[in-house]
Amino acid sequence: MIIEPKVRGFICMTAHPEGCKENVARQISYIKKLGKTEGPKRVLIIGASTGYGLATRIAATYGCDASTIGIMYEKPANDRRTATPGWYNTKAFEEFATADGYYAKTINGDAFSKEIKEQTIELIKSSMGKVDMVVYSLAAPRRTMPDGTIYNSVLKTVGGNFTNKSLNLNNNTITEATIGPATEEEIQATIKVMGGDDWKDWITELDAAGVLEEKAVTIAYSYIGPKLTYPVYYHGTIGLAKEHLYNTSVEITQEFSSRGIKAYICVNKALVTQASSAIPVVPLYFAILYKVMKEHGLHEGCIEQMGRLFHDKLTPVGAIVDEMNRIRLDDYEMQDHIQHKVMELWDQINTENVNELADLTGYWEDFYHMFGFRYENIDYSKDVDI
Ligand code: NAI
């Protein structure tokens, strides 16, 4: 089959297996160049197939020589459609890692479910015995509870309408977007999906099954961002879920203190991923941020961020944290001079100057790369087996 990108707004309906493999290969090559660092040896990554979770898996494997088990929720190909990018990424990663002598196995299914937790525990028992690190990198639109209740997460404000500039992803024009407030029910549902409940369930069940190493570290990813996006992010429904996630990190560390388990929130940089492109207003901020950070030589992708996590932020004597015990990988993004410049450009940006003031090329390059497209060394006119 010859595969072409079919983009609909913030999603691409197709993925290219060779391109996804190239994406993984480039990330591995980056970590190999960075060299080895001391770190975890047996890592469980929940949400391991794309974005930050995939980069974590690659950095742990090739940076710390870790064995990994990944959990993902991805679709294989069928007669009519390609697999999802995460499926191809994971196939490629497992092939590379296995060829390089690393243990890497993946479970494809709903991480919220009891069955997947049980399967994971069995796999840990039969393969590595115990894990010394658990990374929670889920970005999910919904959560199905054991009784069948479904909670859907929403990206809305809390309180009133929020109107601001927004990038129309269909034609690269600058428009205005208004995001309305969530109902109390929607807020609670978002917290159920993207808060810390399920993270804590994982840690509790892993520990009860005896597969969590003493002094294991567990990390969940979060985002804060600039005041500009507070109404839709930090103070919005997703922000409340992230606050719950943070509170859960405190709870886990307290409740498992006798076992020496430490839970951290790691605040990452804003980056184009499948999850983040869906948030209104935010993609325009990304495109301006990319421009400014690249000009200052500070731009990073998921893999550079995760390389820095293992090399600079997680040390043998503990994690480097801020006053709230959070690991900050958004430290470059939040520097005053970077934010100042972004805000200056934000005020000036319009459809006429968007290409000058924002890095639309970089935004779209990252977007297409996520689905395995637009790699200059891949021949997209060739038939591929999906
Ligand atoms: P992503 O969409 O690239 O990755 C999500 C992962 O979760 C995939 O591996 C997917 O298969 C898995 N997943 C989704 N639902 C699942 C389910 N029910 N069961 C099992 N696996 C499931 O997202 P991204 O951006 O890497 O997000 C990961 C975390 O990083 C999220 O908590 C997000 O809020 C956080 N983060 C993202 C930032 C960004 O700008 N992209 C910035 C800071 C934090």
Residue 103 included in any domain: yes
Q: Whose CA is nearest to atom 6 of ligand 1?
A: 47
Q: For residues 264 and 383, what is the distance between their CA atoms, to the nearest angstrom?
A: 45
- Average pLDDT of 10-24? 96
Confidence of residue 27 (pLDDT cuts 50, 70, 90): very high
Residue 207 included in any domain: yes
- The whole domain housing 23 covers 7-146+191-275+299-334
Minimum-distance ligand 1 atom for the alpha carbon of 138: 7
Least confident of 42-56, 144-158, 276-290, 312-326: 276-290
Q: Is 236 annotated as a binding residue?
A: no
Q: Which of 6-10, 316-320, 327-331 has the highest mean pLDDT?
A: 327-331
Minimum-distance ligand 1 atom for the alpha carbon of 268: 43
Give the domain CATH number at 219: 3.40.50.720
Confidence of residue 179 (pLDDT cuts 50, 70, 90): very high
Q: For residues 135 and 269, what is the distance between their CA atoms, to the nearest angstrom?
A: 17
Task: Quote the ligand 1 centre to 15 CA distance (angstroms).
Answer: 18
Q: Find all residues with CB under 8 Å of 79, minimum gap 6, and list them.
A: none
Question: Ligand 1 pocket, 17 CB below 6 A?
Answer: no
Q: What is the pLDDT of residue 9?
A: 79
Q: Whose CA is nearest to atom 24 of ligand 1?
A: 51
Percent of the chain with pLDDT over 70: 100
Q: What is the pLDDT of residue 253?
A: 98
Task: Quote the ligand 1 centre to 129 CA distance (angstroms).
Answer: 26
Question: Ligand 1 pocket, 275 CB below 6 A?
Answer: yes
C-alpha pair distances (Å), 247 with each of 135, 138, 158, 211, 344: 16, 17, 19, 24, 34
Q: Whose CA is nearest to atom 38 of ligand 1?
A: 270
Q: For residues 300 and 293, what is the distance between their CA atoms, to the nearest angstrom?
A: 8
Tokens of 330: 């958004």
Q: What is the pLDDT of residue 298?
A: 98
Residue 244 included in any domain: yes
pLDDT tens-digit series, residues 330-361: 999 999 999 999 999 999 999 999 999 999 99
The yes-or-no verdict on residue 278 having pLDDT over 80 is: no
Task: Quote the ligand 1 centre to 36 CA distance (angstroms).
Answer: 26
The yes-or-no verdict on residue 227 having pLDDT over 90 is: yes
Q: pTM score, two decimals?
A: 0.98
Q: What is the pLDDT of residue 169?
A: 87
Task: Quote the ligand 1 centre to 354 CA distance (angstroms).
Answer: 28
Q: Mean pLDDT for the chain? A: 96
Least confident of 146-160, 217-231, 269-283, 288-302: 269-283
Q: What is the pLDDT of residue 273?
A: 86
Whether 253 and 263 have beta carbons less than 8 Å apart is answered as yes
Nearest to 129 by CA among 56, 71, 69, 46: 69
Task: Quote the ligand 1 centre to 381 CA distance (angstroms).
Answer: 31
Residue 22 included in any domain: yes
Question: Ligand 1 pocket, 47 CB below 6 A?
Answer: yes
Q: What is the pLDDT of residue 95?
A: 98
Looking at this protein, which amino acid is placed at residue 319? A
Looking at this protein, which amino acid is placed at residue 40? P
Residue 14 included in any domain: yes
Q: What is the pLDDT of residue 33?
A: 98
Q: Model ipTM?
A: 0.99
Q: What is the pLDDT of residue 8?
A: 87
C-alpha pair distances (Å), 293 with each of 102, 119, 161, 342, 344: 34, 42, 30, 9, 14
Q: For residues 368 and 375, what is the distance between their CA atoms, to the nearest angstrom?
A: 9
Q: Is 138 annotated as a binding residue?
A: yes
Domain count, the chain: 1
Q: What is the pLDDT of residue 274?
A: 80
Least confident of 8-12, 156-160, 174-178, 304-308: 8-12
Residue 159 included in any domain: no
The yes-or-no verdict on residue 280 having pLDDT over 80 is: no
pLDDT tens-digit series, residues 98-115: 999 999 999 999 999 999
Confidence of residue 362 (pLDDT cuts 50, 70, 90): very high
Q: Is 114 annotated as a binding residue?
A: no
123 φ, ψ to 5°? -65, -40
Q: Is 48 annotated as a binding residue?
A: yes
Q: What is the pLDDT of residue 167?
A: 92
Residue 289 included in any domain: no
**Residues that are catalytic:** 233
Q: For residues 303 and 384, what is the distance between their CA atoms, to the nearest angstrom?
A: 27
Q: Whose CA is nearest to atom 16 of ligand 1?
A: 73
- Average pLDDT of 29-49? 98
Question: Ligand 1 pocket, 111 CB below 6 A?
Answer: yes
Q: Is 271 annotated as a binding residue?
A: yes
Confidence of residue 316 (pLDDT cuts 50, 70, 90): confident
